[in-house]
A and B are shown apart, each in its own frame.
Chain A
Amino acid sequence: MWNVVFSELRKLRRPTLLIGTMGAVIFFSGLFSSLLFLLIDSRDGNSDRGRTVGRSVLGLATGGAEGFNRVGGFLGIIALCVFSAQTAQEYTYGTLRNLLIRQPSRLKVLAGKFIAMTLFALVMIILSAVISVSASVILAPGAKVSTALWFGGDGRHALITTFINITISVIGFGTIGMVLGLLLRSPISAISLGVLWLLIVENLLIAVKGSLQNWMPGAQLAAIASGGSPRGMSTGIDYSHALVVGGAYVVVGAAVASILFVRRDVSN
């Protein structure tokens, strides 16, 4: 299996993918964190959906991780795209047959690819944390936000908790991407369906019937990323509920896709 991991990492570190993805992570992490401080006095809000995160909130121990927290859901979408594209392209390029000739154990291929992409996602999350926190530290004085509590024990705890939550969420989004890639066998279809569902369909359904937010996969994973904070048009999703329901989606999806991958003929 480690042979698969190392060979996948060789593929994932190619400049177009690595620089492109990490560039997007740097840009959006910097942007999301910067807007929190630069628009702090804006009447249109400084956070997602026009909400305002004030100085009192940003000045708490959790304030240093607030920007990182905001970008968490976006990192999940990037992970979904990377995982689904890297999985589905094996079918469109026809390279899956090469993979399976050199590594006939299909579960090892799947597990190896998953581990490699998870490592890639971890690099993405760490980079995002560094950029978000750095941007917050740099911009806080200009926005008259106190950073005194950010560097204490509670501040570090908040950062670590946010990092863990975002990591769980990103791996969940990535797994859903991988499942879509395996099921649809086309990067374009897998990414389109995944992004369309998570960004548009889910939000429309939740807007029509608010209680659905407790059962939609994207809403659960986003709630995990934000530690169970409010999302969407309705009230918040409980963190443990999101963990159970989101986890169930991921586990069931992964199990179904794995069984299909192991048993399905490779005829293209």
Chain B
Amino acid sequence: MSNTAISVTDLSKKYGERMAVSHASFEVPLGTICGFVGPNGSGKTTTMRMLLGLITPTGGTGEILGESIKHPEKYLPRVGAMIEGPAFYPALSGKENLNYLANLGGFSTDRVQDLLNQVGLGDRAKSKYKTYSLGMKQRLGIAAALLPKPALLMLDEPTNGLDPEGIQEVRALLRSLANEGTSVFVSSHLLSELELISDYLVMLRKGEVVFTGKMNDLMLNQQPVIIAKAAEAADLTVLLGIAEAAGHHAVIRDEAVHVEGPASWAAEFNRSAFDAGITLSQLTPQLPNLEETFFEMTGEK
């Protein structure tokens, strides 16, 4: 039996002359939470659609839970998915919508109320979908994805529209599902969220995979960064010059100078700034977070 939940090789999708996804190859191990990140239009949703059998790849191969993506009927009964936001019938209640999908997939409707309770919609189960807020719609989408007791859960931007409490609940839910052995493949533009929950990461840029692997491996390979803020904003360019003169790559971002270099260089940087008559209001050596790494790797900022 395959030990990967998702495995794709050279997966491509071309619309006219535009390559939406270009020769994407990656694997997602079973039982992990895999973050799927990339800028808007990088091909995340297109990739997910191909994996779910909604669109036909132009080229390449793939397997989901050991079955070829050419035969989605073989694996979709074990896959839960919410793609490109929740989509339900407005005139039906949340419960009726889930009953509809349960009937369609041949699942028992007994779990529907439990699932609604699990996502915090128990008391609004009989309200029409069209009366739901964006966050409630999102919760219903997650409940629908959980209907088949999935071995693999694929969620596209599941925290869209959720309040901080809702985001925390989704995070806890995904973690508990992963602990029970469910593989989770989740895309989000909230990179800080993915950083907190993902074990694994697939990063896309303009349809191409720029990183695939363990989150820890990615983060540990990143250069530490020293973040310095000057009391006078006008001094930032002088600080930038000091860092570059010392042979370090540096950029000004968010009213601070970000210098790539070891934490041990921070003391020397402080001394040089003092010698130049600059008072530092902040000097913090740190490893870059996922967002900074993402920008670095995708060149988006």
Contact = CB atoms under 8 A, between A and B. Distances in A.
A3 B106 contact: yes
Interface in A1-37: 3-4, 6-7, 10-11, 14, 16-17
Given A104-B53, A104-B73, A266-B49, 15 more contacts: A6-B103, A7-B103, A7-B104, A89-B89, A93-B90, A94-B87, A95-B87, A97-B49, A97-B54, A97-B84, A98-B101, A100-B52, A100-B53, A103-B105, A104-B76
13 contacts: A7-B104, A14-B91, A14-B92, A14-B96, A93-B88, A94-B84, A94-B85, A97-B84, A102-B76, A102-B101, A102-B105, A265-B56, A267-B55
B72 A104 contact: yes
Given A98-B144, A105-B73, A4 B89 contact: no
B104 A95 contact: no
B147 to A, nearest CB: 8
B83 interface: yes
B198 interface: no
Nearest to B83: A97
Contacts of A102: 76, 101, 104-105
Interface of B: 49, 52-56, 72-73, 76, 79, 81, 83-85, 87-92, 96, 99-101, 103-106, 144
A99 to B, nearest CB: 7
A208 interface: no
B88 A101 contact: no
Contacts of A95: 87-89
B38 to A, nearest CB: 18
A3 B105 CA distance: 7
Interface residues of A, number: 26
A102 B132 CA distance: 23
Describe A's contact surface by its main secondary structure: helix
A57 B49 CA distance: 61
Contacts of B104: 3-4, 7, 99, 102-103
A189 to B, nearest CB: 19
Contacts of A263: 56
A267 B49 contact: yes
A265 B101 CA distance: 21
Contacts of A7: 100-101, 103-104
A80 B101 CA distance: 25
A100 B144 contact: no
B87 A97 contact: yes
Contacts of B53: 100-101, 104
- 8 nearest A-B residue pairs (beta carbon): A94-B87, A7-B103, A265-B55, A102-B105, A7-B104, A266-B54, A104-B73, A104-B72
Nearest to A95: B87
A16 B89 CA distance: 13
Contact of A93 (B73, B76, B87): B87
B49 A11 contact: no
Nearest to B20: A267
